[in-house]
Amino acid sequence: MALDPSRTVAELRELRELTGDADGAQRVAWTDTWERAREWLRGKLDGIRADETVDAAGNQWFTLRGDSERALLIGGHLDSVPNGGWLDGALNVVAGAEVLRRFASEGTPPLTVRLVNWADEEGARFGRSLFGSSAAAGSMADQDEIRERTDSNGIRWVNALAEHGVDLDRALDARAELEGAAAYLELHIEQGPVLEAMDLPLGVVLGTFGVERHQVTFRGQAAHAGSTPMDKRRDALAGAAKLELEIREVAKRTGGGAVCTMGGVVTKPGIVTSVVETAECVLDQRHLDAVTLASMLAEAKDASERFARDEGVKVEWSRIWNIDPILFDAELIELADESIREVAGTSHRLPSGPLHDAAEVSRAGVPTVMLFVQSLRGLSHTKLEDTKPEHLELSVQALDRLASKTLARLTE
Ligand SMILES: [Zn+2]
């Protein structure tokens, strides 16, 4: 059976009908709708020689045994955010199913080929992303917090997990699944505007951004808006405002995809008749290179101290969260580039701003690469999320080529 990329598009539409409504995709992990999507996938792969298993973290695997136990993994996630898009996550699973069918029709592959549908990539219901992949990667270390988490209706996560056959105490047993994994491939929609702006259907992902997230608090003095002359003020918001403009320059000067975002500022007392006493800012900085990210952070800190001195206020920094950049495998990046050029003529290399299951797998030491396909208007996590059908078909072809090239390289 030859690869049929148009079938992937038809199946994605079928899945949208089955698990979405007028507001978008409703495949939130650990719900009946999500379970229906998993059953649907099971049905789609029923006729081929792949064995289905669900691991200790709820990840759904389809294994096509090869001559060797070493395995090529292709993965994605069928879960979505509430009112989500039809492609985020699902594209990689459904395209992966097509590639698996193609391998199955050609007899026993030299290596084992496995499709994985990761459980709860989005973290939409309980507020913690990458559940299944972080368990399989062995990086999950927050079981105590997970135990305490509830959804907006007060339902405990542990109970929701148990309803779907997952015992949190055993979730890390999923690590066994990555033993023998020789490579991991993931196709995903870009969820950003870069490929569309370049008029290119496909790109190779170099890795996922490192992130530095901080609360930056400027402290001045509240004073009457009428009686305090302009040169006698210690205005905390002035420091925050200058920093907001400066971080844009930091990102511009740094380049290489650097982004800095001041996502919010809370001022106190926050009334029209007072100079601002405290301005609490939340700052997010991202880059693919760890050293560069550290210097972006240092630049922002220096600037904040300079602005604080200028305005006669104080500034304090406290870290909210951070993660190191994760770089994908150099050899697989080359193969991915080659695959894209063969099906689409031109390739492009770009970093990923959002995290993906691929980052967890890569962190676990499995050589990993991702392909991005263009997103229309850069939108995702909304029912407006879309990609042209011809680009979806090209992406299935590129994934298939990449899988074949990777298999050939691993058996050399
Ligand atoms: Zn996704």
Q: How far is the CA of 266 from the centre of ligand 1 (A)?
A: 31
Q: How far is the CA of 78 from the centre of ligand 1 (A)?
A: 9
Measured distance CA(92)–CA(186) in Å, rounded: 6
- Edge to edge, the sheet with strand 210-219 lists 259-268, 278-287, 210-219, 314-323
pLDDT in the model for residue 127:
87
Percentage above 90 pLDDT, the chain: 94
Give tens-digit pLDDT for 176-215.
Answer: 999 999 999 999 999 999 999 999 999 999 999 999 999 9
CA terminus-to-terminus distance, the chain:
25
Percentage above 70 pLDDT, the chain: 100
Residue 258 predicted with pLDDT over 80? yes
**Residue (of 208, 214, 211, 213) closest to 323 by Cα position:** 211
pLDDT in the model for residue 322:
84
Q: How far is the CA of 215 from the centre of ligand 1 (A)?
A: 27
Q: How far is the CA of 222 from the centre of ligand 1 (A)?
A: 45
Q: How far is the CA of 205 from the centre of ligand 1 (A)?
A: 14
Give tens-digit pLDDT for 337-380.
Answer: 999 999 999 999 999 988 899 999 999 999 999 999 999 998 98
Give tens-digit pLDDT for 93-106.
Answer: 999 999 999 999 99
Ion ligand 1 — residues with CB under 5 Å? 88-89
pLDDT in the model for residue 52:
97
Which residue has 């719900």 as its token pair? Answer: 31
Measured distance CA(25)–CA(35) in Å, rounded: 14
> CB–CB of 181/112 below 8 Å?
no
Residue 54 predicted with pLDDT over 90? yes
Sign of CA dihedral 134, 136, 142, 147: positive
The one-letter code for the residue type at 371 is: L
Q: How far is CA 51 from the centre of its chain?
A: 28
Q: How far is the CA of 87 from the centre of ligand 1 (A)?
A: 8
SS3 of residue 318 by DSSP:
strand
Q: How far is the CA of 52 from the centre of ligand 1 (A)?
A: 22
Give tens-digit pLDDT for 383-405.
Answer: 999 999 999 999 999 999 999 99
Residue 1 predicted with pLDDT over 80? no
Measured distance CA(341)–CA(42) in Å, rounded: 33
Q: How far is the CA of 92 from the centre of ligand 1 (A)?
A: 9
pLDDT in the model for residue 128:
87
